[in-house]
Amino acid sequence: MTFKYSTGVGRITAYSQCSRFAAPREGMLSATKFPTTAAANVSAFRVDKKKLWLRVAYPVKASEQRNFKAAHSSLGDGIDETATGSATTARSRRLLKVREEKRRREYERIHKYPAWAKVLEDACRHDDELRAVLGDSIGNPELMRKRVQERVRTRGRDFSKSKSGSVLAFKVSFRNFNPLDSYIWFELYGSPSDRDVDVFGSVIQSWYVMGRLGAFNSTNLQVANSSMNYDPLYDAEKGFKVMPSSFHDISDVEFQDNWARVWVDLGTADSMAIDVLLNCLTVMSSEYLGIQQVVFGGQRMGDWEDGMTNPEYGYKSFKI
């Protein structure tokens, strides 16, 4: 097949010498459809049995492509934006589902979360000790309840205080005190916890053990009566020959509400044993367990009820 191009007045005519295309066919190559411009470039053509295809490439700048898409988008001519936005739409659906789940959990937390647990969470922001007590239980009401109950049982109800002692000095009084057969009464600021009972009972027990071993003997104070400016001399033979001075007996420490008592028989121990005990109680009251007053002697103090040993009514004891 041979093509011959001739230029006329704005027209291109294609001739075919093939027997099947003896005469020019209208509409095959028309200048009205394909203007003869320098930008036009015939890239390929294909002859079919029925049609002749001619593809002409027009180089278009990127800015012109953007203008073309914008124009057609505004006119709504055949450009589907949903195809390009399908991924964004799926992501939006996932984010929406996550937000709805988060709102649901927040709603359940606000409307079904116990009020007391919310109060504890708020208090943790300003209380380091309470935050240490709750630990990783925040958000779990049942576990928070167990942690608080354990804290109250071991250290008392005032868990917001970092120091459980008292800044006030306790009062000391004597009421017909007999060193061989008397009670010593202690009035506390509140009902003691199990930990308080252990601390208080340990102090009394230590005091009794030292008295039992003869620690409170004023007749053998060799170092106390010596000057410490020079190395003091201690006479072991004199200390060995000193008359023993020791406690005879003591009872268990009993607690009823905010009162505690212990029966003592100081035996041959000197009265300095009382000073040593008061010195110990002074520091303990300041640092650990607050004491309002200490009474030596007397048969009954406060609301004490003899024979009442039921723990349900506030009775506790420490075995010496």
The reported pLDDT for the residue numbered 273 is 95
CB 168 within 8 A of CB 189: no
CB 187 within 8 A of CB 289: no
Q: Measure Cα distances from 144 to 112, 126, 155, 194 in Å.
A: 16, 17, 16, 20
* Average pLDDT over the chain, rounded to an integer: 75
Nearest to 276 by CA among 208, 183, 180: 208
Does the pLDDT value for residue 317 go beyond 90?
A: yes
Radius of gyration of the chain (CA): 51
Choose from 49-63, 124-138, 222-236 the range with maximum mean pLDDT: 222-236
77-81, 150-154, 299-303, range with the lowest pLDDT: 77-81
Please calculate the CA angle 302-303-305 and round it to the nearest 5 degrees. 125
2-17 per-position pLDDT tens digit: 444 444 444 444 444 4
36-48 per-position pLDDT tens digit: 444 444 444 444 4
The reported pLDDT for the residue numbered 66 is 56
The reported pLDDT for the residue numbered 62 is 52
Query: What's the rounded mean pLDDT across residues 216-222?
Result: 89
pTM over 0.95: no
If pLDDT is split at 50, 70 and 90, which confidence band does 143 have? confident
Q: How far apart are CA 70 and CA 128, in angstroms?
A: 62
Q: How far apart are CA 26 and CA 46, in angstroms?
A: 17
CB 269 within 8 A of CB 247: yes
CB 52 within 8 A of CB 42: no
163-183 per-position pLDDT tens digit: 567 778 899 999 999 999 999
Query: What's the rounded mean pLDDT across residues 112-128?
Result: 80
Does the pLDDT value for residue 268 go beyond 80?
A: yes
Between 267 and 314, the more confident residue is 267
Nearest to 212 by CA among 245, 241, 243: 245
Give 188-242 as a DSSP string: ESS---HHHHHHHHHHHHHHHHHHHTT---TT--TTTTS-TTS-----HHHHHHS
If pLDDT is split at 50, 70 and 90, which confidence band does 191 have? confident
